[in-house]
Each structure stands twice: as C-alpha cells, then as structure tokens.
Amino acid sequence: MRFMIVSASMGAGHDGAARELSRRLESEGHNTRVVDLLDAPPLRIGPVFRIGYEAQLRFAPWAYQLTYRLWYRLPFLIGPVTRFVNAIAGRRLLKWIREFNADVVVSTYPLASLALGRRRQKGKLAIPVVTYITDFAVHPLLVHKFVDLHLCVHPQSAVKAAGRVPGRVAAPGPLVAPRFFSRRPSVAEARRRVGLRPDARAVLIVAGSWGVGDVVETFDVLSRSDKYTPVVVCGRNAPLAEQLRARGGGLVFGWTDDMPLLMRACDAVVQNAGGLTCMEAFASGVPVLSFRPIPGHGVENAEDMHAAGVAAYVRDPIDLVPTLDVVTGGQRTAMRSAAKAMFAGDAAAEARDAQSLESLTPLRPRRSRVAISIAGVAAFYATFTVGVGVAAAHGVGVSRVPRHSDNVFIAVRVSGAAARDAAVENALARLGVSAVVDGQLARQDTEAITKLSNAGVEVVNGGTGHRVRIRAERAEEDVAGTGRAIGRATGERCLAFVPNRRVNGYDLVAARLTHEKVVVGPTILKPGDNDVLRLRAGRVYVIDGRSVDPAELVAALDALGATAASYHVVPAPVSSS
C-alpha cells in the first residue's frame, strides 16, 4: 500500500510522529511519502504561519490563549477557517496525493486534517483520510466530521473525539521511536556520559524545540532546592541557553538528538507543552510533571494528562519540589504503569486498516470557489511585504532613536579587506561606532570578525551578502542565519540588523525572534560625501565603506570624528539607538 503522510514544520512534535509512522509502515513493506503542509500554500507564504505562531507563543501568549479558547466558545468560526485552509492548501495537497497515487492519506497536523476533511466532504478526495492527534487534549480544530478515522494517544482523548465526530475513533497510543523504549545504557553510565554525578537527583526540563515558556523559573526553583540538579534542553533558543548557563547550578543543552540518553540519566521530566517529549518520557518510564504550561494546548494537555493519571500537574512553585519527591518515590510505579498502558496499540496497523472503512460521504463533485480566499491571501502577502517595507521606511516597526539624544548613531559597512586591516579596526574602536558585516564575510573570515569584536568594535548584521528571491527564506538567512554566524565569531549575541534593502514583515518578525534591533538609516553616505559635514544629533547614519580601500576609509572615519566634535555630538553604535 501507498501512504501519503502530511505533517507541518510547526515545532518537532508533528514531524516526529510522521517520521515514526513512516518508519513503521515502511518496515512492513509499504511505501510512504511525508510532506510538509507549509509547502502547500501559494506564493511561498507557508513559513510566515510558523514565524507568526512562534512569535505569538514567545511575545503574546495571552493572545494565543484567547484564540485557543475562541473555538470552544464560537465553534461556528471553524467552518470559515476550514474553508480558508482548504483554499490555500487543498489543491496542492490533492496534487501531491494524486502524483504519489496514495491509497490512504494520514495527517499529523490539525490544519492539514481540516483541509483533507473538506476535500473529502466536497467529493474531491476518493481515498480514506486518517487524522493522528498528537496532543492529549482534543481541541475542536483537531477533528473534522468527514475524516474517516481519528487516532488518539489515550482512550480518554478518544472519548472526547468520539463526542465530536461521527466517524471511527481509536486510541492506539503515542508514536514514539523504538530507541526510547530501551533500558540501555545503565543509569550510572548515562549519568557519566551526560556529566552528572552518580548520586545526583537529576530533573530534565524541556520546553519543545523552540524553548518557549517560563523555563528560567523552573530552573531557578530546582537549582535553589539543593536537592535536584536541573538538566535543561533549550531546543533552538540560543539566548535562553546562554541565560541559563550564566546562572549556573545545572546542565544546559541546546538542540540535541540524545534525548533517550538524557531521559535515562534523569529521575523525572518537567515539561510545559504536553507534546512529543512527554510521549517519549512515557515510553522511557520517566515520571512527568507539568509546570508553568504554555497557554492554550499546554494548559489543556497538562490538565488532561493529570486526569488520566500519567503525569502530575504542579500549579504553584512551592509545590514543585515536594511533588517531585512523590513522583520519584512511592507514586513512580503507578504512573509508569499508567503510561505504559498507552502503548498497547499500533497507529500504523490502524492506518493500514483504514482502507476498508466505509466512506462517510458519497463522492459528488462540486465547483471550487476559491477566488475570494486567494485574493485575501494575495492582499495579505502584499501587505506583509511591500506595505510593511513602506511603513518601515517611515520608522514603523524599526528601532527609534532616544529623544533629546546627543548621540549620532553610526554604522559602517566594511569589506573583507577593511575588516582585516588593523588601522580600520583602530579607527572604528576610537570612534565608538558599529561595523556592519554581511553573512558571507562572517562565515568566511571569522578571525577578522573576532579581532574586531575583541578590539571593542560592535559587529552588527548586514544581511547575507547575496540575493534570495523568496522573502521568508531571505529573512531567515539575512536576519537569523547571519546573526548566528556573527554570534559564533564574536562569542556574543548579535544586537542589530542593518539591512541593505527594504525590510518587510518577515524581517521584522525574524528580528523579533532573534532579539535583533532593525536599524534603518535615513542617511546613507559614502566616505567623502559632503553630507557628513551636517551631522545631526539623534539620527542614524549608515556609511558604506565597501567601495574604498582601507586607507581611505580610515581617513574618512577620522574626518567624521572631527566633524562630530565640532557639532558637539557623540558617535555611538547603532544598537544603542
């Protein structure tokens, strides 16, 4: 049989379930293809949904909680959402399914399930659709009445799903890779390899692949207890890892593939989302506690797992250590047994048998009406790119200089030759301004960037140094990628992004996620321009020194310092603007 599996790169949980389902089916001799829903929308706008979702969790969790609860209170809004997702992704999904000649399509991501259910409802999809719900909680957006089979991680979840849809519901259990069921190496060996003392009482703190939530509070409570050693996995949140390492008192990891080893080495897991890592902990036999769950699905998952007896839910910091004492002591066996019972079934077997299910709706072709939705998407895309660019040019969403400042904020774009020149390095340091380097230079000549930073010169992000046509990818490379390269060279987080082009919404969101200021210089000069003689306090000046040789750039910087003194203004790096 041929199985199309639809996931989405919205965190690691959905992709992890899709990979494990694919592995199980292929081990039985079936053919599978895993696709990403974010590759389906037009105009390559898929990544903006991931960026927006992550930004909401990080910076406006209250808004995510409000949106999450909205579907419970106003379920009639699910219909428009379903039609919108179907409009922007349904056709591409159908094309993939037909090209692969699939016998069954399985979704591990809820919005994909909505689009597939809608296609099934309209008679556009003739093969069975299976939804695998990765969460304990069964939110209204996770089910669709024309999906043929809903699979859940726990019988309690299946009961909730069955109350919302007419089709078949089953609870085969979590999709977890075999390596999490292993009892090797020994606990002592695992602790030695991780870097823990043999007698340590270690607690693994996880916050998903993005490292969101109140991880710092959890770390502090455990490290101050003098009883438990926190072992934190920060995912791809490098600033969080830096912050925790500076605090001391525990072990801190970034993104890691050694989760089975870490779970083997630790006495318990404290989590805040209820996703794939929870299921992996259940498979590993490690007690799970929910503490400070993220809004929305994090809170509901914590409540439902607690009700099912597979995890504890701690609401007050004062109760965290006492609850750890309980679940690592007398309650450990009961929780382990309850968690082990979840794995009695096999999601792959349920998906394989889905072909025999009777369709919930007859095939009846209907005319597609997507023009309005596509027009809406186009309007959104135009606003997010061109519209935001125009707004940013007028100071909206970018760094603003302090009022009544005596400073002029100066960034100097440097070439590779200038970055390597000791005289340029000294001139930038004397003047106290920023050096702007592009990603190509940051990656190819890390030694020069390191020397600039060691000399006290602020090194900021100038973008990739080459053009990328897709705006979301360009933002990722320009802002995040180049910022990381500069951070590796300097040993410090990059503080500012000074674009060499018009910024758009993707750039602003990416900069917010990486904690970089977006600095747009209203005055762009070349060394020797007469405009430099009219320096005004409180303004940003970007000097492009890439077209002159190092000696000319040094002379221009010295002249700039003299001019600043004559106007009684003080040059400053752009990150302070």
Residue 11 pLDDT: 77
Residue 75 pLDDT: 84
Task: Write the DSSP symbol of residue 400.
Answer: -
* pLDDT, mean over the chain: 85
- Number of Cβ within 10 Å of residue 397's Cβ equals 18
Is residue 190 within 8 Å of residue 264, measured between CB atoms?
Answer: yes
Length of the chain: 577
Place 115 in a pLDDT band, splitting at 50, 70 and 90.
very high
First to last CA, the chain: 60
- Number of Cβ within 10 Å of residue 313's Cβ equals 19
Task: Write the DSSP symbol of residue 88.
Answer: I
Domains contained in the chain, CATH given: 2-174 (3.40.50), 178-344 (3.40.50.2000), 387-576 (3.20.20.370)
Q: Rounded to an integer, what distance in angstroms lies between the CA atom of residue 493 and that of residue 457?
A: 14
Query: Which residue type, as a one-letter code, is found at position 525?
Result: L
Residue 69 pLDDT: 86
Q: Rounded to an integer, what distance in angstroms lies between the CA atom of residue 297 and that of residue 311?
A: 15
CA-based Rg of the chain, rounded to a whole angstrom?
27
Across the range 113-133, mean pLDDT stands at: 93
Question: What are 498-540's pLDDT values in tens digits?
Answer: 888 777 766 777 777 778 888 876 556 666 554 445 678 888 8
Q: Rounded to an integer, what distance in angstroms lies between the CA atom of residue 208 and that of residue 68?
A: 19
Q: Rounded to an integer, what distance in angstroms lies between the CA atom of residue 402 and that of residue 12?
A: 40
Is the pLDDT confidence value at 382 over 50? no
Residue appearing with tokens 């991880």: 215
Question: What are 204-221's pLDDT values in tens digits?
Answer: 999 887 888 889 999 999
Residue 463 pLDDT: 84
| Bridge partners, residue 18, by sequence | none
Query: Would strands 129-132 and 202-206 be described as parallel, antiparallel, or unpaired?
Result: unpaired
User: Residue 516 to residues 9, 41, 58, 150, 305: CA-CA distances in angstroms?
Assistant: 24, 28, 15, 42, 38
Closest alpha carbon to 508 in 374, 413, 396: 396
Is the pLDDT confidence value at 393 over 80? no
Greater confidence (236 vs 175) lies with: 175
| Bridge partners, residue 290, by sequence | 271, 313
Question: ∠289-204-251 over CA atoms, to 5°?
Answer: 150
Residue 392 pLDDT: 41
Across the range 403-417, mean pLDDT stands at: 84
Residues with Cβ within 8 Å of residue 148, at least 6 apart in sequence: 120, 128, 129, 130, 167, 168, 354, 357, 359, 360
- Number of Cβ within 10 Å of residue 163's Cβ equals 10
Question: What are 265-290's pLDDT values in tens digits?
Answer: 999 999 998 889 999 999 999 999 99
Q: Write the DSSP string, 271-283.
A: ESS-SHHHHHHHH
Residue 468 pLDDT: 52
Residue 187 pLDDT: 92
Q: Rounded to an integer, what distance in angstroms lies between the CA atom of residue 75 and that of residue 87?
A: 20
Residue 386 pLDDT: 42
Residue 77 pLDDT: 85
Across the range 23-48, mean pLDDT stands at: 91
pTM over 0.75: no
Greater confidence (387 vs 496) lies with: 496
Residue 47 pLDDT: 83
Q: Rounded to an integer, what distance in angstroms lies between the CA atom of residue 291 and that of residue 279?
A: 16
According to the per-residue pLDDT averaged within each range, which of 291-295, 382-386, 468-472 is highest?
A: 291-295
Across the range 192-202, mean pLDDT stands at: 92
Question: What are 353-375's pLDDT values in tens digits?
Answer: 887 776 555 444 444 444 544 45
Is the pLDDT confidence value at 426 over 90? yes
- Phi, psi (degrees; rounded to nearest 5) at 463: 95, -175
